[in-house]
Amino acid sequence: MDPRPRSGDDASVPHATAATPTAGREFLFIQSTTEVGGAETVLLNLFEASEELRRRSLIATLGFGNGDLPARLRRAGAEVVELKMARLRYPWKLASTFRALRELVLAAGARVVVGNGGHPQVIGGLVARLAGARSAFVVHAIYPTKVRETDPRDVLALHGPCDLMMPVSKAAEAALRGIRPGIDIRLLYNGTPQRTVSPDDARAARAELGATEDEVVIGSFGRLQRWKGQDVFIAAARNVARDRPRARFVVVGGATFGFEADYAEGLKTAAAVPELEGRVTFTGFRTDVARLMAACDVVCHTSRVPEPFGLVIVEAMALGRAVIATAGGGPSEIISSPEEGVLVAPDDAAALAAAMRELVDDPQRRARLGARGQERVRAHFSIDVMASTLLRYLDGVIRDC
């Protein structure tokens, strides 16, 4: 489920805030929002990991949101051009956006325009055609197969010009094959870096979260939206807290993209009950996610609907944390056996609470799940594997020109 990029009321002509791009950049990546969600984290990880991708690519951001993604990409060594784009709700102003992006493609000599997410798909395919380039999309969504159930913007994203679609899970791939059977579709699992958090840093993070050494810390990570199910996490925590006094809970994340700003307050209200008094920490949005995950003993993923991938899951597994995740979509592909993680039914606080209790009571099982999960991620979901696969796919698009 792709988040919708948001911006202010300014729908003026786009303008660049960077110099003329370096020539010889074969790939132009389009990224709508400057705020950092799952798709944006993947893009950042890719450019941090791959010198070849940095050398051969240019990134255009379109100015939605108030985040620091362009600055973070530049710190990773990527070349970034910032544009301010007219909203899709002002179609009569979009010509200037397409003109600016076409000029970027031509100035850089880009041969493939890469849209990262739903909104960039709407823009990227048309820009590529206008510039005589090819287009490829990283698809971070499981789209409905029936048009009447599909958001109009998703219809544009799904049915516009495209040469290659790269879904991030088999679940997303199956939906695409039913929608665009004539398009080249290739699976591109998301990857994560192998980050290292020292034991001392993890202990310091636990202390910041208010946890003692003998408590079992159970964490939820992600932007705060109803479909992400943090309220299910709080309901399960309340259930567990009644009879597991050593359990402590943390919710990491904030409202992003301007969505459901009141949801976070609702979560805090739900946690303001006697059973959870002093035992739930809300951190808000954080950039030190790996450090906070390392402070946890268990990480929960609680999406109500099938997740297109589930980046939080592989991030936690890569750190050797035991994971409980909602079955369906990407999570059921990431956790391929009960030895790698625990899958529970969606929107089922009782099932989640039962899984929490089992792991609170069994530190040896937590350790086994963490070790096997870490092996699974290293073998199948590393950022290096994703980067090399992406480059191979994009080179194939060029060869097919």
Comparison of pLDDT for 153 and 359, the residue scoring more: 359
Residue 98 pLDDT grade (very low, low, confident, very high; cuts 50, 70, 90): confident
Alpha-carbon distance of 391 to 314, in angstroms, equals 21
pLDDT > 90 fraction of the chain, expressed in percent and rounded: 74
Pick the CATH number of 199-380 from 3.40.50.2000, 1.10.1040.10, 2.60.110.10, 3.40.50.150: 3.40.50.2000
Backbone angles phi, psi at 116, to 5 degrees: -105, 90
User: Average of pLDDT values for 134-151?
Assistant: 83
Instruction: Write down the domain spans for the chain.
Output: 27-191+383-399, 199-380
- Residue 85, pLDDT above cutoff 80: no
- Residue 245, pLDDT above cutoff 60: yes
Q: What is the pLDDT, as a whole number, of residue 241?
A: 97
Structure confidence by residue, pLDDT tens digits, 18-59 = 457 888 999 999 998 888 888 999 999 999 999 999 999 999
* C-alpha to C-alpha distances, 91 to 65, 98, 119, nearest whole angstrom: 19, 11, 14
Alpha-carbon distance of 267 to 233, in angstroms, equals 10
- Residue 349, pLDDT above cutoff 90: yes
Structure confidence by residue, pLDDT tens digits, 163-190 = 999 999 999 999 999 888 889 999 999 9
Residue 16 pLDDT grade (very low, low, confident, very high; cuts 50, 70, 90): very low
Nearest to 217, CA basis, from 272, 279, 271: 279
Residue 12 pLDDT grade (very low, low, confident, very high; cuts 50, 70, 90): very low
By the 10 Å C-beta count (0-12 exposed, 13-18 middle, 19+ buried), 247 is classed as: buried
Asked if 27-191+383-399 and 199-380 have one fold, the answer is: yes
Residue 389 pLDDT grade (very low, low, confident, very high; cuts 50, 70, 90): very high
Tokens 């080249």 sit on residue? 184
HSE at residue 264, side-chain half, CA atoms within 13 A, is 18
Nearest to 50, CA basis, from 401, 397, 299, 382: 382
Arch. (CATH architecture) of 27-191+383-399: 3-Layer(aba) Sandwich (3.40)
User: Average of pLDDT values for 188-214?
Assistant: 95
Nearest to 234, CA basis, from 213, 208, 258, 265: 265
User: Average of pLDDT values for 273-298?
Assistant: 95
Please give the mean pLDDT across all residues of the chain. 90
